[in-house]
Amino acid sequence: MTPTPPSAPPRPVPLVLIGFGRVGQAFSRLLFEKAETCRRRYHLDPFLHAVLNSRGGFATGRPLRPNDLFAGDAPFVEGNHAWQPGLSLDAVLASAPSPGVVVECAPSDLRTGAPGLAYLRAALDAGWHAAAASKGALVVDFRGLRARAAARGLSLKLGGATAAALPTIDVGTTALAGAEVLAIEGILNGTTNFILSGMAAGRPYAEVLDEARRRGIAEPNPSQDVEGWDTAAKILLLANAVVGLDASLADVSVRGITAVEARDVAGARERGFAVRLVGRCARPAPGAPWALSVAPEALPADHPLASVSGTAKGVTFHTDTMGAITVTGGGSSPRATGAALLKDIVNIYSARR
Amino acid sequence: MTPTPPSAPPRPVPLVLIGFGRVGQAFSRLLFEKAETCRRRYHLDPFLHAVLNSRGGFATGRPLRPNDLFAGDAPFVEGNHAWQPGLSLDAVLASAPSPGVVVECAPSDLRTGAPGLAYLRAALDAGWHAAAASKGALVVDFRGLRARAAARGLSLKLGGATAAALPTIDVGTTALAGAEVLAIEGILNGTTNFILSGMAAGRPYAEVLDEARRRGIAEPNPSQDVEGWDTAAKILLLANAVVGLDASLADVSVRGITAVEARDVAGARERGFAVRLVGRCARPAPGAPWALSVAPEALPADHPLASVSGTAKGVTFHTDTMGAITVTGGGSSPRATGAALLKDIVNIYSARR
């Protein structure tokens, strides 16, 4: 059942994690949990060389262990021998035994890309691969970052930034290699899909949003989700990474769900339609310029995304030679995003077979 | 929109195509069509070094062109300067400018793996990568072929053999790297799904099967489909390639759809269930041995595969860290299978980024 491991030791892969919020913490826990799987199945030994946040970093000069980061369930700084206030990215990259992967999970700004953009540029310039779960830097300068990576033969991975464990980028690139993507449509935000699913029963927007907040599905300030900007950022990344566009957020026509009326959603359901917030990348006519949009749409029951309900997500790629391929599901917890980052790291190093 | 091509010429990739039936012909046409895309987007120049069938082969000592193979729409032998009766695989592998990929599309036998098994072994032993659309050899000796490939650092690709353009293997391996697959369930055969979809309206099995035959959906002899063996072969390949089992066809419990009654399918629909022929790879209990099965099942409406109807296919992977991920759709024509082969070839050579 398990292939015999080659006799050489697993390849060490130093990781520098930037951002130690919910996703960063979940990623580091997952990495400790999956160490043996990585060694056995992929012959890789990814380890945390350092973890940075805006105030400093955790680093000990050897691979970080759980008790260098966590006391019980929570990260701790006070009295932690591994905590170094003001520790910089340059310093930890320089002290690593070899370049590896910078894993970017810092809170990010969709307009400026800060602070991730500077981190990712520095990482690539220092010869490190990059895997991002934050969208800001990628939204602002995907093309520049991709070129910087390509010039050095490095990978820039964004699976964790484009709908967590839903494998949007992997399907759009690896699984569709050689095919022409004619259009992409996606339900890319779990919070808005949860709200629209609840409104299909006739419940008002504000009431379902409150429930989503209480259940921890919606952020305390959900404006980025309900106004459509989270979906816009994700369809933009798919357009640039899969179709090869060079679009920016200003090119996306964005309408969220704040003006959607419960009676319209419920009425659509009675007529057999599902109202969904759809991110779309398509050409209005063959040869016409690509158009990017986010808007609530009433999908017919036989649309492959119509059955994606609750907090689920999904994306459909329309192609020239492979038909339409839809991928749905995938966890959207911090742990699932951490799993998407680990996947990207494994895929940087493991040979295709 | 299009990256500037590097200055070096595209990498030549010699291909030897084995089998020149519907899939082999569709693949070679697609390759001619996609030559420019391969050069521009992947910096690869895949070309047909030779095409073999059971009676001989097409080869000219330079890359084959459409008119070396086809007169109008049909392949031709009589009066074809490129046709060499009795041409052998050994001879064409030896005459290639360098090793490339053997593309295996010959009709195959699920019990013996012949003739593909001998071809694939010879190809790998000669240092060629392999991409298969035929299932026989892979069903009979996936583990042996995979080991033979791994020992030489070669790829063995089976995307085209596991549900054509539906990216089952890509999702199960690349997109789920690092995750544990806990179970796989799939609707893997378009013919049986078409028949069951038709029976949901109360139409008898024989009547819908006749329609499927008339429309070219079912083969003249559909027994491998309706008795479940095509689905069994595919779930077996997924189990071995994705979960890492070493199972054989005899390990799969197989029940097809020939005994399914229209009134049961229609009755299930009235109760909100969809009857589907499901291939399943799962452990009955945590830690229990894996069990492989094919059987008609009534799926509840909220099952991600319940909405897969007509000739469509789909597969759900249940994982430890990424939730459940479902991929549906994908063409199932010879051209779509050809596109899956081309994808596998591109992915053998193009760097991950």
Dist. CA A186–CA A165, nearest whole Å: 14
Interface of A with B in 113-152 (CB under 8 A): 146, 149-150
What does the block give as tokens for B122?
Answer: 């010879």
> Is B170 in contact with A165 (Cβ distance < 8 A)?
no
Per-residue pLDDT reduced to its tens digit, B222-237 = 999 999 999 999 999 9
| Residue A262 DSSP label | H
Name residue A222's amino acid. Answer: P
Quote the minimal CA–CA distance from B317 to chain A in Å: 10
Chain A, window 240-279: residues with a beta carbon less than 8 angstroms from a chain B beta carbon:
244-246
- Cβ separation B328–A176 shorter than 8 A: no
State the alpha helices, DSSP H only, in chain A: 22-33, 35-42, 66-69, 89-95, 116-125, 136-151, 168-170, 190-199, 205-214, 223-226, 229-238, 262-270, 334-349
Residue A36's closest chain B neighbor by CA? B178
CB atoms within 10 A of CB A173: 18
Cα distances (Å, whole numbers) of residue A219 to A225, A257, B224, B309: 9, 15, 52, 37
C-beta atoms of A339 and B329 within 8 A: no
| pLDDT for res A8 | 86
Is residue B1 predicted with pLDDT exceeding 50? no
Predicted local confidence at residue A1, as pLDDT: 34
List of chain A residues with pLDDT < 50: 1-5
Q: Which pTM does this prediction carry?
A: 0.96
Give exposure, A186-213, as e/b (b: 16+ Cβ within 10 Å): bbbbbbbbbbbbbbbeebebeebbeebe
- CA-to-CA distance for B31 and B339, rounded, in angstroms? 9
What pLDDT is recorded for position B286? 87
- Across A213-339, the runs of DSSP E, i.e. the strands, are 252-254, 273-282, 291-300, 314-319, 324-329
Place of tokens 């919910």: A22
Q: Please tell me which residue of chain B has the smallest CA distance to A153.
A: B353
CA distance A173 to chain B (A): 10
Look at residue B4 in the predicted model and tell me its pLDDT.
46
Tell me whether the omega of the peptide bond preceding residue A115 falls within 30 degrees of 0, making it cis: yes
Of the pLDDT bands very low, low, confident and very high (cuts 50, 70, 90), residue B353 is low
Instruction: Note whether A353 contacts B179, CB cutoff 8 Å.
Output: no
* Chain A residues whose beta carbon lies within 8 Å of the beta carbon of residue B325: 165-167, 327-330
Task: Identify the weakest region by mean pLDDT among A117-121, B27-31, B179-183, B215-219.
Answer: B215-219
Determine contact: A334 vs chain B, CB below 8 A: no
CA distance A85 to chain B (A): 33
The size of the A-B interface in CB pairs under 8 A is 188
Distances, alpha carbon A154 to alpha carbons A99, A127, B223, in Å: 11, 7, 50
Answer whether residue B68 shows pLDDT above 70.
yes
Q: H-helix or E-strand containing A152?
A: none
Report how far residue A253's alpha carbon sits from residue B115's, in angstroms, rounded to the nearest whole number: 55
Give me the percent of chain B exceeding a pLDDT of 70.
97
Residue A257 near residue A192 (C-beta atoms within 8 A):
yes
Chain B residue with CA closest to A335: the answer is: B321
Report pLDDT digits (tens) over A241-255: 999 999 999 999 999
The ipTM (two decimal places) reads 0.95
Q: What is the pLDDT of residue B219?
A: 87
Task: List, for residues B258-270, the tens digit of each pLDDT value.
Answer: 999 999 999 999 9
Minimal CA–CA distance to B21: which of B68, B48, B54? B54
Alpha helices in B171-204 (DSSP H): 190-199
Least Cα distance to A128 among A47, A38, A12, A14 occurs for A14
Which of B34, B330, B352 is nearest residue A178 as measured by Cβ atoms? Answer: B34
Q: Does A177 touch chain B (CB under 8 A)?
A: yes
Residue of B nearest to A159 (CA): B175
Phi, psi of A199 (to 5 degrees): -70, -20
Residues 182-221 of B with CB under 8 A from A: none
Q: What is the mean pLDDT of residues B64-69?
A: 97
Mean of the per-residue pLDDT values of chain B: 95
- Do A93 and A65 meet the contact criterion of CB atoms below 8 Å apart? no
Give the Cα separation of A106 and A135 in Å (integer).
9
Instruction: Please give the residue of chain B at the shortest CA–CA distance from A321.
Output: B336
Reading the block at residue A256, the tokens are 């969220």
Q: Are B348 and B34 in contact (CB under 8 A)?
A: no
- Which residue of B244, B246, B327 is in closest CB contact with A327? B327
Are B155 and A352 in contact (CB < 8 Å)? yes
The verdict on a CB contact (< 8 Å) between B165 and A37 is no
What is the H or E stretch that residue A333 is in?
none
